[in-house]
Amino acid sequence: MNTNCIIFKRMIFSAIMIVSLFPAVLVSQSPGNPVSIAGNHQTNPAMTTDGSGGTIIVWQDNRNGKYEIYAQRMNGDGNALWTLNGLAICVQDSNFKPMIVSDGSGGAIIAWQSYRGSATADIYAQRVNSSGNIMWSLNGLPVCVVVFEQDTISMVSDGLGGAILTWQDYRSNNGFADIYAQRVNPSGTMIWTANGVNICNQAASQRGPKIISDGSGGAFITWYDNRAGNYDIYSQRVGAAGAVQWTTNGVATCTMAADQLTPDVAGDGADGVIITWTDYRSSTDFNIYAQRVGPSGAIVWVVDGVVMNNNVAYAQTDPMIVSDGLGGAIISWTDYRTGTTADIYAQRVNSTGAVQWTATGVIICTASGDQIFSQLTSDGNNGAYITWEDHRNAGNSDIYAQRIASNAALNWVATGYEICTVANDQLRPYLVSNGNLGAIVVWQDYRSGSNFDIYEVGFNTSGIIGIDPFGNITPDEYSLSQNYPNPFNPVTIINYGIKASGNVKISVYDILGEKISVLLDEVQNAGEYSVTWDASGYPSGVYFYMLESGSFTSNKKMILIK
């Protein structure tokens, strides 16, 4: 047994979990990389990663005088890889509000609501591969084309190259929306009941569905529900074959008095979810609440949820959520506590439902004017990147961002980092992780003064704009980050930094200190990297991973839960 292994075994039961935080030295903001600058308006962008440090972006497009759907793939340097100004996904008239998820092979599945020749919207979808080739029928496949309106799509990858979609559905013709869902495989075959399976058709309205994968080919879906005469939060789990797993029409997540609205959902790392929402139980103003729901539908925290902002004055609305990789979550929202303008605040809640930061939430940005429409994604290190639409410059809207660490430390300037502040309006930012400690944001941009275009930029832990997300940053020191997510099932990502070129080895050990896998053993240049461990063949339990490079050695604990 080599010396490192002996030392590691001695360390294994006393390993201290340290999250590395790097102070940022920021550079000036970038005007962004053009995704599409075609004529007329391009609006409502959505985005997913391509698995190679780049993105695939979709939007509704009016270049031909009708609302069509276009998409573009951008590499990590911000260069377009497909047709100039975008690839036509659907050239029928009257198509709106596209959504997109990765197909796991460098391409994407896109869904949208379409009025093609009809007074009511249906749901259509298309798959495009990594080279920009359309894989399904011209102008998309019908996902749901029953009578009356289907809209407000939410979508997630099914983990097998396909997607699961959920939406509001008015087919009952009683004036109330229900919730339906459908799974489509990589070949474009609808796996579940034609036109979707019923998730909830309880009398009265069900609205605003949000969806997240359950890691087993199915999904968790949450929505706000008017069955009691005011809106409450309900949830349902649907299996890989399309059968609902919990109580018919959903289980109650929160049924407190008055309205609970606009839920969002993230995984808890233990086969369940954490749900957040806007809550009017105080009867004087909206606050932000959250609840954890187990894999069988049972609530985990206190009945009707935990308050995230300690009921501070005036309204807090539009929460967004992301896992913190440690069994809890980070939540951002729009906050009117000043009584005059909107700001952005955030809170972290742990796996037991205890808030981890200041009771009323941490300030993300309180600059002059309104800050609204926050979006967030993991920073890969138990913290989050948050971006928003910012109106501090009178008459214009710009895009700003902030990075917040797991201990609530703000890594960038207190008022936020300028992502794009060029002339005229930049609106509706959409944010995703680049899979390597950075993030990419896309938005609709009116800098031309005549029409909206689509732009994007990438940034890393130092806030640098427009980077190649794979290794252009030389860290000041070696680092090994906590794996993400943690706990996990069965795949997790390990991020690390290499100060100097040399051989890098990352190994996995079991609880007894026996080496069970070598994830990496090769020469690498200085930079920031990530490696993935697929633990499909290993039992649930505690594992350790070790990084060795030159004289540097570091290890951390991770938990596999199946």
Give per-residue pLDDT as tens, 210-241. 999 999 999 999 999 999 999 999 999 999 99
Kindly report the backbone phi and psi dihedral angles of residue 6, in degrees, each rounded to the nearest multiple of 5, phi listed first: -60, -45
CATH architecture observed for domain 3-19+475-560: Sandwich (2.60)
- The domain limits of the chain are 3-19+475-560
Q: What is the pLDDT of residues 91-121, one digit of tens each?
A: 999 999 999 999 999 999 999 999 998 899 9
Is the pLDDT score of 166 beyond 60? yes
Q: What's the Cα-to-Cα distance from 43 to each of 71, 279, 434, rounded to whole Å?
A: 12, 30, 22
Q: What's the Cα-to-Cα distance from 19 to each of 381, 433, 453, 492, 543, rounded to whole Å?
A: 7, 19, 39, 17, 17
Whether the predicted model's global pTM rises above the 0.85 cut:
no
Rounded distance, CA 270 to CA 301, Å?
14
The candidate with the shortest Cα–Cα distance to 420, out of 25, 30, 43, 27, is 30
Kindly report the backbone phi and psi dihedral angles of residue 12, in degrees, each rounded to the nearest multiple of 5, phi listed first: -60, -35
Q: Which residue has the tokens 């997607």?
A: 163
Q: Kindly state the percentage of the chain with pLDDT values over 70.
A: 92
Question: Please, which pLDDT band fits residue 483 given cuts at 50, 70 and 90?
Answer: confident
Are 404 and 358 in contact by the 8 Å Cβ rule? The answer is no
Mean model confidence pLDDT for the chain = 91
Burial pattern 35-48, b for ≥16 Cβ within 10 A else e, equals bbbbebbbbbbbbb
**Rounded (5°) CA angle 301-235-286:** 65
Rounded distance, CA 375 to CA 238, Å?
26
